[in-house]
Amino acid sequence: MEYQGLKYKTRGNADPKGKPRVYFCCHEEDFGKFFKPVTEEILSVVSNAAVWYYDPADGIPEDEEFLSDLSQMQLFVVPVTANFILKDSRARTVEFAFAREHHIPILPLMQEPGLEKHFNRICGDLQFLDRRASHADPTAIPYKEKLKTFLDSVIVSDETANKIRDAFEAYIFLSYRKKDRAYAQQVMRLIHQNEFCRDVAIWYDEFLTPGEDFNEAISQAMKKSSLFALVVTPSILEKPNYVMTTEYPEAKRSGKPVLPVEALKTNSLKLSWNYKGIGTAIQSAQLPERLKSALPDAAKESAVEDPVHDYLIGLAYLSGIDVEIDHEKALKLITSAAEAELPEAMQKLTDMYLLGDGVKRNTYTAHEWYVRYVKVLKGQADEDPSEENLDRLFNSLLILGNMETEYTFPKQANKTFEEMLHVAEKMGELGCSNAGSRLLLSYRKFGDISLKEGRTADAKELFRKSLELAEAKARSSGSADDRRYLMQAYERMGDICQSEEDLKEERKWRFKSLSIAEELAKETGTELERRNMIINYSNYGCLCMDDKDMPEAKSWLLKALSLAETLSSEYPTQKNRWQVSYITGQLGWNCKLTGDLSEAKEWFFKSYKLRAALAAERLSPENRRDLEVGLIRMEGICRELGETEEADEWQERKKSMFHR
C-alpha cells in the first residue's frame, strides 16, 4: 500500500501545527493494546505535543518520505514488550535503529517484567522507565515525576517556544506541493546555508494530512511572514492544487514579496500564465542576493553577541521550531551560549549528551557540562545565600551525585553528596523551611555510600541522624510520604544490622518497616502498596528462617501468601503470580528445614506449577531459570522421601529442558 502519511493524536484533537513532534514506535502486534494508554499518558504530561504514528492496519510504510517524516521527530516513545525485544520487527530494526543513528532521543517505557537484561543486550545502555520499579523503594522518585522530567528535558514548552519565535529576525512562508516536499527541504537548506539567514524562520506545512483544513493557520503564518517563497516544479502547474488556488493568491493580496525558486525545470510560460505577476523563477545560485534584498534587516550583522539569543535559536534548530532540524547548527549555537556560562544552555547540553538528543550519547561530556553548571550555581549561592539559591544548589548536587553514581564516578559521587550535606546543614543554620527534608535525604545518601564502601560506623551514625529526622517529621505531619521516609529509615537501620550480622536487632528494624507498609496498604488499598506489604511479609518470614525461628517464619509466609494470592487474582500479572510462586517455594523450604518433607513437597509442587505456567506464557531466561529451580527442588525432595521413581521422572524433565 502506498504511504499516505503519518496520522497524529493531540490533546482535544487540536491542530498539530507547531507542536513538538513525538513518534509512537511499537511492534505491530502491540499497537492495539498500547497505543491509546501510552499516548494518553504522554499527552497528560505534555499537553502541547502531537503524537505521530501509522496504524499497521493501513499497511507498513517503506518509502523515503516516511523516513523523512521520522527525521523531523523530536522524540521516539517505545512501549517495551516481549514482542518488541524478542521478535524481529520493523519497529526495532528500522524505526528504533533510525532514531539512534540520527541522534533522536528515545523514551523506552517498560510494559512487562523480566525484560530488563534483554533490553540492555539488544538496545544498549539506554535508560528506560518502569512504573512498577518503585515498589522496591517506596520513597523513590515517582514514575510520573520521572516521566515529566524526561519529557521536559526533550520537549520545548509553549512558553519557551514563544520566546524562540520572538527571537527570529524574520519569517519566510515556504509554499510547495506536498509531493514536492523533498525539493522544499532542499530549498530550506539552501536558505539556511547563508549565515545571515541563520535567524530567519521558515513556515511550512511539515505534515499535511489529507482532508485537514489549515486555512486559518496558513492565514496567520502569511501575516507574520516577510517573504513568500515558492518551490517551483512542474507539479505546481497541475490543476487544481492548493498552492495555485489559495496560497499564491493570498500572498499577492497581502502584498508580500514573492520569490519563486526553481527546484526542477519548469515551463516558464505556463508558470507565468497560471501565476500572474510571479516573475522569473530564480536558480539556487541567485538565492543569496535575492534573500538579502528581500530581507534587509536579517542581512544586517549584529555587533553584539547574545548568549540567550544563540541559545534560543539553537533550540529552534534542535527541535525544528519553524526551521528544519539541523543538529550541527543547534549544537554549535547552544555550546556557544554554554561557553558564555548561560546556565540553561549548560543544562541543555547535559540533557543532550545524556539522552543522545542531536548528538551521540556521551555521559562523560554530559557530566563535564553539569559540573560547570553546578559551579555557576555555587557562585550564585555564595554571593546570595538565599533559600531559593541554596535549594537550587542542593537539587543540582543531588542530580549530579545520582549521575555520578549511575555512570560509575564513585569517588566524585562521594564528594558531591558530602558537599550536598554541607549545603543542607547551612540551610538548617539559616532556618530554611525545607532544611529538615534536605538533611534527611543527605544523611541517607551519604550513609548509603559509606555502607557500600565498608565504612559501617560512619553509615550507622548517618542513618541514625536520618532516622531521628524521619521520626520527627512523621510525628509532626503523619502524612503518607513522611511515613514512607520513616519506613525507609527503618530499612537502612536493618541494613546496618545485616552488615553486622545481628539478626535479632535486624528483625526489630525490619518489623518496624513492615508495620508502616501494613498501615499504608490498608489506608490506600493500591496494588503498589499491597505488593509492598506482601514483599515485607515474605522478607520478614525469610529473616525469621535465617534466625531459626521456623514457626514465626511460617506464620509470616502464610500471611504473605494469602495476600499475594488475592492480589494476583485481582491483578494477574506475571509479577504478581511470580510472587505467589516465590512464597510457596519459601514455605517449602521452611517445611523441609523442620523435617516435614511431605508438606514441603506439596509447597514445592505448587511453586513448580506456577512457574511452569509462567514459562509457558513466555519462556524468558528468568522464567526458564525459575522453572529449572522448581524441577531441581522436586527431584531433591522426592529423593529425600525415598520416592526414587518419581525423582527420576523429575530428573528426566530437567534434562529435557536443558536440551531445548
Contact status, residue 207 vs residue 69, Cβ threshold 8 Å: yes
pTM for the predicted model, two decimal places:
0.77
Q: Is pLDDT above 60 for 302?
A: no
Taking a C-beta distance cutoff of 8 angstroms, is the pair 86, 125 a contact?
Answer: no
- Residue 259's pLDDT is 93
Residues near 124 by beta carbon (within 8 Å), at least 6 away in sequence:
100
User: Domain residue spans in the chain?
Assistant: 7-155, 159-299, 555-660
Q: Which residue has the higher pLDDT, 233 or 112?
A: 233
Q: Between 13 and 552, name the one with better pLDDT.
A: 552
Give the list of residues 6+ apart from residue 211 with CB closer than 8 angstroms, or none. Answer: none
Range of lowest pLDDT (78-87, 130-139, 218-227, 517-526): 130-139
Q: Write down the pLDDT at residue 133.
A: 58
What is the structure's pLDDT at 616?
86
Residue 655, pLDDT above cutoff 70: yes
Query: Does residue 149 have a pLDDT over 80?
Result: yes
Mean pLDDT across 185-199: 88
Report, as an integer, the average pLDDT of 428-438.
88
pLDDT band at 383 (very low <50, low <70, confident <90, very high): very high
Q: What is the CATH number of domain 555-660?
A: 1.25.40.10
Pairing outcome for strands 106-110 and 75-80: parallel
Span 439-453, average pLDDT? 87
The pLDDT of residue 116 is 80
Q: Measured between alpha carbons, how far is 100 from 222 in angstroms, rounded to an integer?
A: 36
pLDDT at 658: 58
The model's confidence at residue 299, banded by pLDDT at 50, 70 and 90, is low
**β-pair type (21-24, 75-80):** parallel
| H runs (alpha helix) in 302-409 | 307-319, 327-339, 343-355, 363-383, 387-406
**Residue 440 pLDDT more than 80?**
yes
Mean pLDDT of 500-504: 91
Across 553-563, average pLDDT: 95
Residues in the chain: 660
- Which residues does 42 contact at the CB level (< 8 Å), separation at least 6? 22, 49, 51, 77, 151
Choose among 263, 295, 340, 264: nearest CA to 195: 295
Q: Reply yes or no on whether the pLDDT at 301 is more than 60.
A: no
User: In this prediction, what percent of the chain has a pLDDT beyond 90?
Assistant: 52
Q: Comparing 382 with 60, which gets the higher pLDDT?
A: 382
Residue 218, classed as helix, strand or coil, is helix
pLDDT of residue 208: 44
Three-state DSSP at 77 gives strand
Distance, CA of 510 to CA of 635 (rounded, Å): 34
**Confidence at residue 217, expressed as pLDDT on a 0 to 100 scale:** 65
Q: What are phi and psi of 580, to 5 degrees?
A: -65, -45
pLDDT digits (tens, 9 = 90+) for 255-294: 889 999 999 999 999 999 999 999 899 998 899 898 888 8
For residue 213, pLDDT over 60 is answered with no
Q: Which CATH class is domain 159-299?
A: alpha beta
457 pLDDT band, cuts 50/70/90, is very high
Q: In which band, very low, low, confident or very high, does the pLDDT at 561 lie, cut at 50, 70 and 90?
A: very high
Q: What is the pLDDT of residues 247-262, one digit of tens each?
A: 899 899 888 899 999 9
Please tell me if the domain spanning 7-155 has the same topology as the one spanning 555-660. no
Of 59-73, 187-201, 496-510, 576-590, the one with minimum mean pLDDT is 59-73
* pLDDT tops 70 at residue 168: yes
CATH code assigned to 7-155: 3.40.50.10140
Residue 230 pairs with which residues in a beta bridge? 175, 260
- Name the helix (H) or strand (E) containing 10: strand 7-10
Q: Which residue has the cell 517445611?
A: 591
Residue 408 CA to residue 88 CA, distance in Å, equals 32
